[in-house]
Amino acid sequence: MLRLEYKKHVFNFKQPSGTSRGVLKQKTSYHLIVWDSENPEVKGHGECSTIKGLSPDPWDEYESTLQQLKGRTEDLEFYLIQGLHRFPSIRFGLEMALTDLQKGGRRILFDTNFTQGKAGIPINGLIWMGKPEFMHQQIEQKINQGYPCIKMKIGALSFEQEMELLQGIRDRFGAKELELRVDANGAFAPEEALEKLKRLSGLDIHSIEQPIRQGQWDKMAGLCKETPVPIALDEELIGRSSEDAISQLLDYIQPQYVILKPSLLGGFEISENLIREAEKRNIGWWVTSALEGNIGLNAIAQWTATFNPKNTQGLGTGSLFTNNIPSPLYIADARLHFDPKNLWNLNSIHE
Q: Is 219 a catalytic residue?
A: no
Phi/psi at 3 (nearest 5 deg)?
Answer: -125, 155
Q: Is 153 a catalytic residue?
A: yes
From 153, 219, 225, 310, active-site residue: 153
Q: From the CB of residue 343, how many other CB atoms can be counted at a distance below 10 Å?
A: 11
CA angle 230, 233, 238 (to 5 degrees): 175
Alpha-carbon separation of residue 299 from 47, 114, 306 (angstroms): 9, 12, 11
Q: Which secondary structure element, helix H or strand E, spans residue 232, and what is its range? A: strand 231-233
Closest CA to 27 of 207, 296, 238: 296
Q: What contacts 24+ positions apart, CB below 8 Å, involve 173-179?
A: 173/143, 174/204, 175/204, 175/206, 177/148, 178/143, 178/148, 178/149, 178/150, 179/124, 179/148, 179/149, 179/150, 179/206, 179/312
Helix then strand then coil, % of the chain, to nearest 5: 40, 25, 35
Give the chain's length: 351
Contact assessment for residue 197 and residue 217, using Cβ atoms and an 8 Å cutoff:
no
Contact assessment for residue 351 and residue 8, using Cβ atoms and an 8 Å cutoff:
yes
- Neighbour-count burial of 246, counting CB atoms closer than 10 A to its CB (0-12 exposed, 13-18 middle, 19+ buried): buried
Contact assessment for residue 151 and residue 125, using Cβ atoms and an 8 Å cutoff:
yes
DSSP letter at 247?
H
Known catalytic residues are: 153, 261
